[in-house]
Structure 1
């Protein structure tokens, strides 16, 4: 009987290479860039066949934990969710997943996948997993080498060596991202792109990692052994996990181990590392223009428009990216990914809010979005999911007026509890202890008008909270 594989999905990163759509609190792996589902959801769906895969493990952080649960529920998949107390790069994250997998099965084979990659040919990817499984069971740490489509400079490369078994080859050498001339040489020599996804027996990975950095492996092992359980999450012990060295799995293990092997695969893979990559993966018109949202093109070629709401019209331009969200607009050249990196670094110093959060802020109970604000007022649109409620709270500096526009709200104000229906409103005085909940079967939508001398989110005094944020 062939052993099943435990998927380990890594989704704790907060890259800004797709700013302004991707931001610190809602990064690209949770965005629906190519359809109704996010890349995180597509990654999970890709490894959901129970004939080959076990219950997945997801490793993320506290900031994303409720997004993870929400997106798991949307596609009907259950998982063990591990929370990193601090970002330590992929080395400790994968080690923690391996330790946890081994606690489920001493002989566990783990497939570690980035949550923000795209695979257009699932069948070829699954075939590569089956090919790599035999080598992994024999003690190899297998990576997936993508057959290059061009001389790319944005990826690391793998020089495949002797045959190990079937299509699996030993890794002769890992090489860093090359310049254009060197990339062309690698293409001719049969090198592969390094996808950054791996398969291994948990015990083998931890043994190799432990030979190279025993202190970090011990720290991660202790963090899992002392982990707590909170609202269904596995919370790694902070002090132990923090003692692990922050390092990528490539530097920690793959470039040093003699057990590295590679499965060559052509599966329509992309790490979606730039808006140019999004354009490459998108449907285009006859002039090479792609649009997600309302985009109109005239005498323009090879442009990419992504817009939340506003109509974007381009005339007489070529090779542009225009990304319009409700609080920021990016206009960039198609291929200058490094330029965007420099721009976001500058924005973090002059306008940090637009790199951290969207106007629409997601919460475990739903979301809120700022509609208008002034010196002493702010208007928000609040959505509460069925059966959910906000914390019991109070404010020192503002009063609130709630107008229900859809659904029904159960509202607590001090000792009073009442139901507020569509087109009805209720007033929350300064200092009143209050709570909002949705007892119904449909989304609750309301408009909140805040007035007062200070309207910041840190003027929320939580007294009781279902999500343990108080």
Structure 2
């Protein structure tokens, strides 16, 4: 008797949601350099770890990342640094944040367009950590099988302690009784007493923020339960700008339509309202790495309970987490502190106040202070710039331009610039003139003059820029041409450099 042919398994596309400011991890995490991009003690970023975790799954040859247009090149470079070259990398680019429901709607539309209704989406936050990969692989396999019935499968983490900082998933039967459970309800972050009960009753799991489902299931649920998200995102996707390359693709959503989408989390918009939901209980070394206390737990303590990253000199110091980047940190006679130092901002907090760091960021935003958005070293698609010194009517930067990279053809209204090449080779466009500069040579660009800087070489171009003018804000720029697609529809619009 001939064998009955079996239909091929649906394609699994890991979808990494790479957004959020991570305000509890200030001053390392900032709006222009968010939490998924911050490096842990081992040198890898959270995004890199999530990307590598997705790439090792069986039969995966494509990963889709949803991120902000402004962090696109940072995220892309981060993934390519891993040297994984056999994975096609796709991006959905949001013009601005509209929370996870809109991000997942756009991802589902992309997956369906490229792979059909039955393709599976494994949705993962970019800023979570999983240390036990074999149980993770098994949980993904179970979830993928369960989605064949058209259900949404969430991943619930078995609690290891009472935790008031996480949401919970309530199930109807004890965890040990089955590998898959029906979801009774989602529970918001509980009080200490309730969290103590949840940790031991066997009926509550931490909500990991991960889930698996068909693209068609995601779109059907969103259309029924969250039309104020689904409809504008569908229009934004229909009017999106698409590009293809040998190693990947991008879908840049239309800003006008996307702005109309309701700002809602996927939990609120769909999961808490759906009757089509199951959960896979997991034990896989999961952490949302949501605070400096969580980051601290990743570092081995010394004999005094201190956890240190960087160069320090300590005397009579106990139970402190200290992280530095470039400067020596000295501490004397202090206990139970969090100390995080960056070149332009320092955090000192009680260990029991780690969750409240976001209050500092909120105040900085109210004050209009740049340290809530930018680091002293700012990443751009073409390289980086570092502010070395600034004062009234002047600013000095160190600029690094990657090989074959180019700044936009641009103009400033209020400042002039003097460029001095330190190393490498620079092609400088100034008005109608193009000149080439080498080390120790310089060029002057007056206010109002169109100009462009390009690195034609195979090594980094390093130069010092001296700005002079009455206004030196980063928004004093008009772009005319840009190889990274950053020229606005109206060339007279101003953008950050």
For normalisation by structure 1, the TM-score amounts to: 0.94
Say how many residue pairs are matched: 470
* Residue 172 (structure 1) aligned with residue 184 (structure 2): yes
Structure 2's unaligned 5+ residue stretches are 1-7, 488-497
CA distance in 1, matches of 2:205, 2:295: 21
Structure 1's unaligned 5+ residue stretches are none
* Residue 451 (structure 1) aligned with residue 464 (structure 2): no
1:9 corresponding residue in structure 2 = 16
* Residue 31 (structure 1) aligned with residue 38 (structure 2): yes
Contact 1:413 1:433 in 2 (8 A): yes
* Residue 469 (structure 1) aligned with residue 486 (structure 2): yes
Match of 2:272 among 255, 275, 284: 255
- 1:295 is displaced (CA, Å) by 2.4
Contact 1:378 1:450 in 2 (8 A): yes
Q: SS at the partner of 2:297?
A: helix
CA distance 1:467–1:411, shift in 2 (3 Å): same
**Stretch deviating more after TM superposition (96-105 or 213-222):** 213-222
**Stretch deviating more after TM superposition (403-412 or 73-82):** 73-82
**Stretch deviating more after TM superposition (289-298 or 12-21):** 289-298
**Stretch deviating more after TM superposition (236-245 or 270-279):** 236-245
Match of 2:231 among 197, 218, 233: 218
CA distance in 2, matches of 1:290, 1:461: 46
1:377 corresponding residue in structure 2 = 394
Match of 1:206 among 219, 222, 237: 219
Q: SS at the partner of 1:223?
A: helix
2:454 corresponding residue in structure 1 = 437
2:70 corresponding residue in structure 1 = 63
1:83 corresponding residue in structure 2 = 93
* Residue 93 (structure 1) aligned with residue 129 (structure 2): no
CA distance in 2, matches of 1:320, 1:340: 13
Q: Deviations over 1:330-351 (max 9, x none)?
A: 1001131343222222222235
Q: Deviations over 1:52-88 (max 9, x none)?
A: 3241111112121221222232224542211223322
CA distance 1:91–1:397, shift in 2 (3 Å): closer
- 1:146 is displaced (CA, Å) by 0.8
**Stretch deviating more after TM superposition (426-435 or 397-406):** 426-435
CA distance in 2, matches of 1:37, 1:62: 22
Q: SS at the partner of 1:133?
A: helix
- 1:423 is displaced (CA, Å) by 2.8
* Residue 186 (structure 1) aligned with residue 185 (structure 2): no
Match of 1:246 among 223, 239, 263: 263
2:152 corresponding residue in structure 1 = 141
Q: Deviations over 1:110-131 (max 9, x none)?
A: 1111111111112221111112
CA distance 1:53–1:160, shift in 2 (3 Å): farther
CA distance 1:223–1:458, shift in 2 (3 Å): closer
* Residue 126 (structure 1) aligned with residue 137 (structure 2): yes
CA distance in 1, matches of 2:394, 2:405: 27
1:341 corresponding residue in structure 2 = 358
CA distance 1:440–1:18, shift in 2 (3 Å): same
Q: SS at the partner of 1:69?
A: helix
Contact 1:135 1:164 in 2 (8 A): no
